C-alpha cells in the first residue's frame, strides 16, 4: 500500500482538538489510511542508500497492508510531543517502543507486546580493555546496582528509564543523580562512547545494536527484569483498532516474517556497516554520492531536490552505469535519442545524464503547465509521463474526460484510464492516438517516487538538520 510520511512541528493539546477525537477502526478504514507517530533512529526508521528502513516502519507497513489501507507516519523523537499527537487525535497510534508500566496505563491503552527486553546500564570499558582479562575489565565497571550510589546517569526524559532509576535509588537506599535530557537513547549511548557522559540506561535490544557501532561500551549490567514493549492507543474510541491490532500482532509474532524482521534490525551483524556507511543519512546527511549534483540540477526545474533524488533512486538506485533492456542509460535512465535531441551525450558523465533528464522534465512541464492547474496533481502527470511518455498519458486524459471522469486528477481518474489502455476496447477508441499501453508500471512509478519523496521529506528537513550527538559537559 502507499505510505505517506510527514515531517512535523509540535502542536500542543487543546480542549478543542481533544473533543474532536472520534476515530476508531471503522472510521480509519473509511478514511483509507492509518496515521501513526514513530521516532527515527538506526532501528525504528531511517534512510539507507536512498531507501526507507526500520523495525517499526516495516511492522506498521505489514499491519496496514493487512488492513488494505495506506499508512501515514508522523515522526517525533520527543516523547511528550508524540503523546500529544496521539491524545489530540492527530494520530491514531503511537508506534514507538514503549515499556509497559502502570503509570503509563493511566493515560493510554497498550497493545499486546511487540517484543520483550530489559533495561541495561551503558558504561565505557577501560581504555586498554582489549589487553585485559574479563575479571580485570569487570573490576573497572559497575556490576552491582548498589555501586550506582552517587553516580550521575543521563536518561531521555519521559521514559521508563527515569522511573527505573528512581525506584533503584529507593531500593539501594542512596542517591542516584538522574539527569533527564530531551535526547533519545542512541544519542546518549554515543556520548558514553565518546566519554562525554559516564552512564546512561536504555533497552537491551537497542543497546545490543549500538554496541556493534561502539565496541568500547559495556552493556552487560542489567538494571531491570524482562519488560514488555508495546505500542499505545488512546483510551477513548480505540477499542476496535486495539482488538484488530492485537489479533494481527499475536498471529504475526509467531511467523517467520516477524523472526526475520526482528533479526534484521536487532541481531544483524551488518548493522555497523549500515551505520558507518556514507549513505546512512542520520549520520552523514547523504542519500547518495550524487547529492550535490542533484541539488544543483533541481534548481533548473524548480523542484525540491529530494523529489529529484527519489526519481533517480527509482530509475537507477543511484547507479550511474546501469542500462535497461531498452537502452535507457544512467542515473536518470535517459534514452540516447532523448539526450541527442537536447545536444547532450548522456554517457559522458553522471552530470550530463542528470542534465539531459532535467531538460526532459522541463519539456514535460511545458506540456502540463496549462492543462493541470493544481501543482500537486500536475506533478503526478509529469512523473507518469517521465515513465510512460506524454502521449499515453494524454490519451488517458482524453479517455477520462470522455467517460465522465476528471482529466486533471490522477488518482481514481486518469490513472484508471492509463491502466485501461491495455484493453482492446479502449486503446482502439477514436480519442486514443498512441495505441496499446500497459500502464501498471507507470501508475506504480508515480506512487513509489512520491512515497519515497515523503520518506525523504520526513527524515531530511530542508535545513538539513541531522541526528547528531550532543555534548552534555
Four-CA torsion 222, 225, 231, 232, nearest 10 degrees: -110
Q: pLDDT tens digits, residue range 165-205?
A: 999 999 999 999 999 999 999 999 999 999 999 999 999 99
pLDDT at 22: 61
What confidence tier does 15 reach under pLDDT thresholds 50, 70, 90? very low
User: Residue 206 above 50 pLDDT?
Assistant: yes
Q: Which residue has the higher pLDDT, 6 or 165?
A: 165
What are the domain boundaries of the chain? 3-114+228-276, 119-224, 291-459
Mean pLDDT of the chain: 91
What confidence tier does 273 reach under pLDDT thresholds 50, 70, 90? confident
* Residue 358, C-alpha cell as written in the block: 532535467
Side-chain-side CA neighbours of residue 320 (13 Å): 15
Q: Taking every pair of C-alpha atoms in the chain, what is the biggest distance, in angstroms?
A: 87
What confidence tier does 215 reach under pLDDT thresholds 50, 70, 90? very high
pLDDT at 6: 41
> Three-state SS for 203?
strand
What confidence tier does 271 reach under pLDDT thresholds 50, 70, 90? confident
Q: Where are the beta strands (DSSP E) in 308-363?
A: none
Nearby residues of 165 by Cβ (< 8 Å), 6 or more positions away: 153, 155, 176, 178, 201, 223
The H or E element that residue 456 is part of is: helix 440-459
Distance CA 406, CA 215 (A): 59
What is the DSSP code (8-state) at residue 410? Answer: I
Q: Are 219 and 99 in contact (CB under 8 A)?
A: no
pLDDT at 429: 97
User: Residue 334 above 70 pLDDT?
Assistant: yes
* Among 439, 415, 441, 417, CA closest to 429: 417
Mean pLDDT in residue range 69-88: 93
Distance CA 359, CA 428 (A): 32
Q: Residue 135 phi/psi, 5° resolution?
A: -65, -40
Distance CA 193, CA 157 (A): 20
Cross-strand bridge partners of residue 119: 203
Q: Are 330 and 394 in contact (CB under 8 A)?
A: no
Q: Are 293 and 278 in contact (CB under 8 A)?
A: no
Distance CA 97, CA 85 (A): 16
Query: Among residues of the chain, what percentage have pLDDT more than 70?
Result: 93
Strands 109-110 and 227-233: antiparallel
Side-chain-side CA neighbours of residue 376 (13 Å): 4
What is the DSSP code (8-state) at residue 148? Answer: G
Domains 119-224 and 291-459 share a fold: no
What confidence tier does 282 reach under pLDDT thresholds 50, 70, 90? confident
Nearby residues of 257 by Cβ (< 8 Å), 6 or more positions away: 62
Distance CA 380, CA 307 (A): 12
User: Residue 465 above 50 pLDDT?
Assistant: no
* Among 469, 456, 117, CA closest to 275: 469
Write the secondary structure of 119-170 as one string of H (helix), E (strand) and C (coil): EEEEEECCCCHHHCCHHHHHHCCCCCHHHHCCCEEEEECCCHHHHHHHHHHH
Strands 217-222 and 119-124: antiparallel
CATH number of the domain located at residue range(s) 3-114+228-276 in this protein: 3.40.190.10
Q: How far is CA 91 from CA 62, 234, 369, in A?
A: 18, 9, 35
Instruction: Tell me which architecture the domain covering 119-224 has in CATH.
Output: 3-Layer(aba) Sandwich (3.40)
CATH number of the domain located at residue range(s) 291-459 in this protein: 1.10.530.10
Side-chain-side CA neighbours of residue 450 (13 Å): 22
Mean pLDDT in residue range 29-34: 94
The 10 Å CB-count burial string (b at 16+, else e) for 148-177 is: beebebbbbebbbbbbbbeebbeeeeeebe
Distance CA 258, CA 249 (A): 10
Distance CA 189, CA 199 (A): 8
Strands 177-181 and 152-156: parallel
pLDDT at 335: 95
Strands 119-124 and 200-203: antiparallel
Cell numbers 552517587 correspond to what residue?
A: 150
User: Residue 230 above 60 pLDDT?
Assistant: yes
What confidence tier does 139 reach under pLDDT thresholds 50, 70, 90? very high
Cross-strand bridge partners of residue 179: 154
Rg (C-alpha) for the chain, rounded Å, is 26
User: Residue 158 above 50 pLDDT?
Assistant: yes
> Three-state SS for 406?
coil
* Among 465, 437, 454, CA closest to 304: 454
User: Residue 246 above 80 pLDDT?
Assistant: yes
What confidence tier does 275 reach under pLDDT thresholds 50, 70, 90? confident
Cell numbers 477499542 correspond to what residue?
A: 239
Amino acid at each position: 500500500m502507499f505510505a505517506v510520511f510527514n515531517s512535523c512541528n509540535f502542536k500542543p493539546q487543546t480542549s478543542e482538538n481533544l473533543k474532536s477525537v472520534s476515530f476508531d477502526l471503522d472510521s480509519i478504514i473509511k478514511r483509507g489510511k492509518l496515521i501513526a507517530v514513530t521516532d527515527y533512529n538506526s532501528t525504528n526508521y531511517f534512510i539507507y542508500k536512498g531507501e526507507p528502513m526500520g523495525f517499526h516502519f516495516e511492522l506498521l507497513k505489514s499491519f496496514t497492508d493487512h488492513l488494505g489501507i495506506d499508512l501515514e507516519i508522523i515522526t517525533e523523537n520527543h516523547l511528550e510531543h508524540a503523546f500529544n499527537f496521539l491524545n489530540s487525535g492527530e494520530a491514531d497510534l503511537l508506534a514507538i517502543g514503549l515499556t509497559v508500566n502502570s503509570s503509563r496505563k493511566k493515560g493510554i491503552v497498550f497493545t499486546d507486546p511487540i517484543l520483550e527486553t530489559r533495561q541495561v546500564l551503558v558504561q565505557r570499558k577501560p581504555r586498554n580493555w582489549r589487553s585485559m582479562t574479563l575479571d580485570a575489565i569487570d573490576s573497572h565497571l559497575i556490576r552491582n546496582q548498589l555501586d550506582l550510589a552517587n553516580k550521575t546517569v543521563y536518561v531521555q526524559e519521559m521514559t521508563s528509564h527515569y522511573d527505573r532509576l528512581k525506584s533503584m535509588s529507593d531500593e539501594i537506599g542512596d542517591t542516584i543523580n538522574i539527569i533527564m535530557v530531551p535526547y533519545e537513547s542512541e544519542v546518549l549511548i554515543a556520548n558514553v562512547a565518546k566519554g562525554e557522559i559516564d552512564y546512561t540506561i536504555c533497552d537491551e535490544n537497542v543497546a545490543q545494536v549500538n554496541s556493534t557501532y561502539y565496541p568500547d561500551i559495556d552493556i552487560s549490567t542489567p538494571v531491570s527484569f524482562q519488560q514488555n514493549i508495546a505500542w499505545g492507543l488512546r483510551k477513548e474510541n480505540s477499542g476496535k483498532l486495539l482488538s484488530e491490532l492485537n489479533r494481527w500482532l499475536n498471529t504475526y509474532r509467531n511467523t517467520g516474517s516477524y523472526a526475520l524482521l526482528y533479526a534484521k534490525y536487532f541481531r544483524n551483524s551488518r548493522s555497523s556497516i549500515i551505520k558507518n556507511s556514507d549513505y546512512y543519512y542520520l549520520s552523514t546527511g547523504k542519500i547518495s554520492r550524487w547529492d550535490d549534483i542533484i541539488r544543483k540540477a533541481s534548481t533548473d526545474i524548480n523542484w525540491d531536490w529530494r523529489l529529484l533524488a527519489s526519481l533517480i533512486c527509482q530509475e537507477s538506485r543511484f547507479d550511474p552505469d546501469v542500462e535497461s533492456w531498452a537502452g535507457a542509460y544512467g542515473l536518470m535512465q535517459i534514452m540516447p535519442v532523448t539526450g541527442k535531441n537536447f545536444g547532450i551525450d548522456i554517457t559522458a558523465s553522471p552530470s550530463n545524464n542528470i542534465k539531459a533528464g532535467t531538460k526532459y522534465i522541463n519539456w514535460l512541464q511545458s506540456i502540463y503547465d496549462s492543462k493541470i492547474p493544481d501543482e500537486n496533481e500536475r506533478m503526478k502527470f509529469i512523473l507518469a509521463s517521465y515513465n510512460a511518455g506524454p502521449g499515453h498519458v494524454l490519451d488517458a486524459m482524453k479517455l477520462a474526460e470522455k467517460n465522465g471522469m476528471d482529466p486533471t486528477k490522477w488518482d481514481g481518474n486518469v490513472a484508471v484510464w492509463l491502466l485501461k489502455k491495455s484493453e482492446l476496447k479502449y486503446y482502439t477508441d477514436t480519442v486514443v492516438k498512441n495505441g496499446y499501453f500497459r500502464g501498471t508500471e507507470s501508475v506504480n512509478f508515480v506512487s513509489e517516487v512520491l512515497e519515497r519523496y515523503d520518506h525523504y521529506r520526513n527524515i531530511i528537513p530542508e535545513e538539513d538538520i541531522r541526528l547528531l550527538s550532543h555534548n552534555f559537559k
